[in-house]
Every structure is written in C-alpha cells, then in structure tokens.
Structure 1
Amino acid sequence: MTTRLNPYLSFRDTARDAMEFYRSVLGGELTLSTFGDLQGSEDPAEQDKIMHGLLVSPSGLTLMGADTPDSMQFNPGDNVSVSLSGEDDGELRGYWDKLSEGATITAPLNRAPWGDTFGMCTDRFGVNWLVNITGAPTA
C-alpha cells in the first residue's frame, strides 16, 4: 500500500448523513465505524456516532470523515484536516517528526484502538494533520 494524502472532514453529529451524501455524489465504497465499534469513547451518547468514515470512489478519490466528540471543540469552517496514511513506518514517522516540530500535538503518535499507530497535530501554520501508520509498532 502506498502512502496516501487526502482530506479528512469533521462534523458534529452529522458524519453518517454527510458521508452517505458524498457517496451519492462520488459513488464508490463507503465504510463507517462508530465510536462503539472501535471502543473510542466511554460516553454512551457517542456510541453510534461515526469515529471513522472512509469513501473510496471508482475513480480512486478518497474522502474521510468523522463526528467530533462532544469533549472536543468544533468550529464549522475549520473542520478540515489532511490525512497521511499508509504502511511505510519510516516514511510516515519522518513526516510526523517534521510536521509536529513547533506544532500543537492533539494526539501523540501512539497505538490506536484500531491497532494502527496514529497521531494528530496542528502545525505551526494552523493546518490540522492526521498520521496513520497501518499495523506499525508504537513509538
């Protein structure tokens, strides 16, 4: 699997509807996982919310999205992140190291509930980044 760069959209309680809408527009395969599926929240009110949505269109377009947990700030208009994902541990950790320099770390690069290594940061220019290393060992 090659490293991919794609947009990641954040929503407040509308990720399922939004991602199904984008599937109706772009076509393709949509995978939705809830906070309950991934044990991503202990809040019973969040169990059915989308923790991760992935849409891959027939032409190869990739769009990801999720509901923002109630404990996190949500600002419509500021709800876009850039996601770097793949299997190349060295390449992706190198990107993380450079992007996180002088950044605000939202989630350190660590083992995630879904088994990958994952981190989030806002770089020194205010851009939100997500890095997901498939099946990689923790730091």
Structure 2
Amino acid sequence: MPSRLNPYIAFDGDARQAMEFYKGIFGGTLTVSTFGDFGQKEAGDAADKIMHSMLETDSGFTLMAADTPPGMEYKYGNNISVSLSGDNAAELRGYWDKLSGGGTVSVPLEKQMWGDVFGMCTDRFGITWLVNISEQQA
C-alpha cells in the first residue's frame, strides 16, 4: 500500500455524528472504532466515543477523525492535524524523524494496542502530525 497523507480531525465527543454527516455529503465507506473496541471499557462514558474513524470516498478522498481521548484537552481551533499512514516503514520513519526533529513528541513512535506502529508530534511550526505504520499482512 502506498503511503497516504490526509487530514485528521479531533472532535469533542461528536466525531460519530460529524463523520456520518460527511459521509452523507461525500458518500463512500465509513469505518468506526470506539475506545471500548480496544478494551478501554473502564473509560466509562468514553468507551462509546470514537478512537478512530475513516471515510474513504469513491472520488479518492480520505478523511480521518476521532474524539479527543480521555485525559487530553480538546482545543477548538487546533483540532485538525495531518495523518501520514501506510506500510513502508522506512519511508514513514524517515518522515517521522524529520517532522519530530526540533518539535515536540506527544506519543512516541512505537507499537500500539491496535497492532500498528504509531506516533504523534508537533513540528517546529506548530503543526500536529500523526504517523501510522501498518503491519504488513502475511
């Protein structure tokens, strides 16, 4: 799979409604995973909140979104980041190294509970980047 670059939007509890709204506009296939789907049922009300969603349209658009995780502050106006994802680990790690250099790492680039390698950083210009390296299928 080639690497892709797309917007990633953070919401304050209404990611599901927003993504269903965007699906109604752009069409396509919407996939949704909640915090509870990944064993975070102890999060109480947050268990039903969106941990990750992706809308892929027939026009080739990709839009990703999530609710702000429990314990993290939602910042209106700074709720759009850029996602880099794919399975080319060397390419994506190279991007990560350059983007995080001189910036701030909020989630180190390492294996996550969903099986992929993921990291989040804010570059030296204040742009938040999400890097996800998918596990290659055997």
Q: How does 1:6-85 map to 2 (within 5 A)?
A: 6-40=6-40, 42-85=42-85
Stretches of structure 2 that go unaligned for 5 or more consecutive residues are none
* Pairwise CA distance, 1:41: 6.6
Name the CA distance, whole Å, in 2 between partners of 1:78 and 1:40: 25
Matched position secondary structure for 2:38: coil
Q: Give the aligned partner of residue 129 of structure 1.
A: 129
Aligned length: 136
Q: How does 1:105-120 map to 2 (within 5 A)?
A: 105-120=105-120
Q: Please report the TM-score for the alignment, with normalisation by the length of structure 2.
A: 0.95
Cα deviations by residue, 1:9-62 (Å, 9 ceiling, x for unpaired)? 000100000000000010000000000112357412210000000000111100
Name the CA distance, whole Å, in 1 between partners of 2:86 and 2:41: 25
Distance 1:54 1:70, change over 3 A: same
Q: For residue 31 of structure 1, what is the amino acid of its counterpart?
A: T
Q: Please report the TM-score for the alignment, with normalisation by the length of structure 1.
A: 0.94
User: Residues 43 and 70 of structure 2 are in contact (CA less than 8 Å); yes or no, is this contact kept in structure 1?
Assistant: no
Name the CA distance, whole Å, in 1 between partners of 2:134 and 2:18: 26
Cα deviations by residue, 1:56-82 (Å, 9 ceiling, x for unpaired)? 011110000000023111111110000
Matched position secondary structure for 1:37: helix
User: Residues 39 and 113 of structure 1 are in contact (CA less than 8 Å); yes or no, is this contact kept in structure 2?
Assistant: no
Matched position secondary structure for 1:124: coil
Matched position secondary structure for 2:92: helix
* Pairwise CA distance, 1:103: 1.1
Stretches of structure 1 that go unaligned for 5 or more consecutive residues are none
User: Residues 8 and 81 of structure 2 are in contact (CA less than 8 Å); yes or no, is this contact kept in structure 1?
Assistant: yes
